[in-house]
Structure 1
Amino acid sequence: MPLRMTLPQTLGARLAASDRPQFGAWVCSASAVNAEIVAGSGLDVVLIDAEHSPNGLESILGQLQAVAAYPVTPLVRPPFGDPVVIKQYLDLGVQNLLIPMVDSAEQAEAVVRAVRYPPHGIRGVGSALARASRWNRIEGYLADASSTISLFVQIESAVAVEQVERIVAVDGVDGILIGPADLAASMGVIGEQEHPEVVAGVLRSIEAARAAGKPAAVNAFVPAAAERYAEAGAALVLVGADVALLARATEALADRYIAGPTPSGRAGY
C-alpha cells in the first residue's frame, strides 16, 4: 500500500510563523553538493537560481532532493516568468517560486494565473506524473495545490518601485524580493547599491509589503546593509552566495600564500 505523504510548509508560512527575520544564501553553482552544504549551514533558506546560473530541470531536481533532508526552505528562481517554465518547475516539486523582473501588477497577475490550476489559472494538469504531488501520494493535491505554493516576485527596477504598492496588492502574490543590484542599474547608478536613491527604493518596497501584510525579502551581501534592511522590517535577507563565497575564500588563500593582497573594490551582488 503506498505511503500517504504531506508537503513541507511554504516559505510564506515559514516567514509568517517566525518571530525574527530569516536569513538565507543563494546556490548559483548548479551543484547538489553545494546546495546540501548550504542547507546544513544553519541558515533558514536556500535560494536555487536559474536566471544567472547554469541550472536546468535535472540539476534543480537534484538540488531539491539534496536539501529535502534539512530544516531549510528552498526558494527557486526560474530565468523568467514564462507559464511553460513555471509549469515545469511546479511539477518538479518547487513549492516556492521567485519570479524576476516583475514591473507591474498586470505582470504579477499573469504569473499568479500561471501557478494556479483552472478555473483560477492556466497551469496544466499533470500531477499524476509529477513529483509535485509525489505521484498522487499527496491526498487532494489538485484541490489544494495553491495552498502548497508560495509565489514571490522581484522588485528590481525603478518602474517596479513606483508600482510596488499595486504589485503587493495582487491576490496570489505572497511576497516580494527586492534586488538592489538591478535597481541601481535601472536608476543609472550601476554597482552603487548603497546610493541613497537605491536604499530609499528598497525601504519603500519593504514598507509597502508590510502595509499589505506580506513579507519582503532583499539581497544584501554587505553585513551593514543586511542589518539595516532586517531592522527596517525585511522578513528574509539573502546574505551570500556559494560561488561568491568560494571565489573570495580562494582569493584570500592566494593572497596569503602567493601574491599578497589584491586590490579591493569588487562589486557585491
Structure 2
Amino acid sequence: MDRQTNAFKAALEARTPQVGLWMAMASAYTAELCGQCGFDWYVIDAEHAPNTITTVVAQLQAMQDCGGEPVLRIPVNDLNFLKQATDAGVRTILAPMIETAEQAKRLAEAMHYPPRGRRGVGSALARASRFGADTDYLARANERACLLLQVETVKGLANIEAICAVEGVDGIFIGTADLAADMGHLGRPAAPEVQQAMLSAANRIIAAGLPVGGLTSDPALAKSWLAAGLTFVAVGNDVSVLRAGLTALRGHFPG
C-alpha cells in the first residue's frame, strides 16, 4: 500500500474499475492471507463483524504491504470509532445506513481536518502519521481521505442527489441486502425489483458525478454491475469463501 497517496481514491476519481473483497472474520491472520490475493480493496467490517479498534489495527498492520486499500466499514453513526480509525491509519471509510444529506455532512466533517472539516488533531500520537515521523501528515491527510457512503434504504435512494451533493463525499455504495429487506424482499437482493431500483439509483449517482459501488457473491451479477458503470464492486467475502471451500472439500469424501 502506498503510504503517500490513496491509489484507490485516485482510481475511483478516474472511474477505473476496482474489484474488492469483504472481510468479516476479525482476524489479522486471515486478513494477511486475503491481502496476498490481489484484490484492489478490502473491507474490514466493524458493523456486522465482531471487530474492535484493536482488531482493526492488527489487520491494518497485517495488510500494510498487501497492495490493496483497506476500507473500514464503521458501526452506524459512530463518529468516535471513525476518529480512532483514522488516527490508526484508515484512509478510506465506508459509513452504513445513510439516508440524508445531514448525516453525510456530519461524516464528511469528521473525516477532514479544518478548514474543510472538524476532525480532531491528535496525529502526533497516531499510527496514521507513523507516530509523528510523517511530518507532512496534517498537510496531506485531507487529500488522502476517502469517504464512501452506504445507501441502503428506500428513503436513502429518494435523497440520493442531496447526499451526492455533500462536499467531501467520494463515492456511494448501494447496499442491496438491506435495500431488499426495506423493499419487502428480505434475503433476496437479486430480486428483479431490487436490482432495478439499484441500477436506477446507480445511474442517478453517476449523473451526479460520483462513482458507485456494491457487493455481491454472484460473479455474473458482479460483472453486469461493472458493465453497467459501477466502479468499485466487492465480489465475495472471506466467511463464505472459506465455508464453500471447506464444504466442497468435505464433499469429496462421502460418509
The alignment's TM-score, normalised by the length of structure 2, stands at: 0.94
Match of 1:122 among 110, 118, 125: 118
Match of 2:31 among 6, 31, 35: 35
CA distance in 2, matches of 1:67, 1:32: 8
Q: Which residue of 2 aligns with 1:187?
A: 183
Q: Which residue of 2 aligns with 1:229?
A: 225
Aligned to 1:257, the other structure's residue is in SS state coil
Indicate the larger mover: 132-141 or 235-244: 132-141
CA distance in 1, matches of 2:133, 2:193: 49
- Aligned residues between the structures: 254
- Is this contact kept in 2: 1:6–1:138, CA < 8 A? no
Deviation at residue 18 of structure 1 after TM alignment: 6.0
Q: Which residue of 2 aligns with 1:7?
A: 4
Aligned to 1:154, the other structure's residue is in SS state strand
CA distance in 2, matches of 1:123, 1:180: 30
| TM alignment of 1:1-269, pairs within 5 A | 6-17=3-14, 19=16, 21-258=17-254
CA distance in 2, matches of 1:157, 1:107: 14
CA distance in 2, matches of 1:184, 1:132: 37
CA distance in 2, matches of 1:92, 1:18: 28
Indicate the larger mover: 5-14 or 130-139: 5-14
CA distance in 1, matches of 2:218, 2:160: 24
CA distance in 1, matches of 2:201, 2:4: 30
Cα distance per residue 1:75-109 (max 9 Å; x no partner)? 11111232211110100000000001001111101
- Is this contact kept in 1: 2:154–2:183, CA < 8 A? yes
CA distance in 2, matches of 1:193, 1:6: 36
CA distance in 2, matches of 1:219, 1:178: 8
Deviation at residue 7 of structure 1 after TM alignment: 2.7
CA distance in 2, matches of 1:6, 1:71: 10
The alignment's TM-score, normalised by the length of structure 1, stands at: 0.89
Structure 2: 5+ residue stretches without partners: none
Deviation at residue 73 of structure 1 after TM alignment: 1.2
Deviation at residue 137 of structure 1 after TM alignment: 2.1
Cα distance per residue 1:18-66 (max 9 Å; x no partner)? 64x2111111101112112111112211111111111111111111111
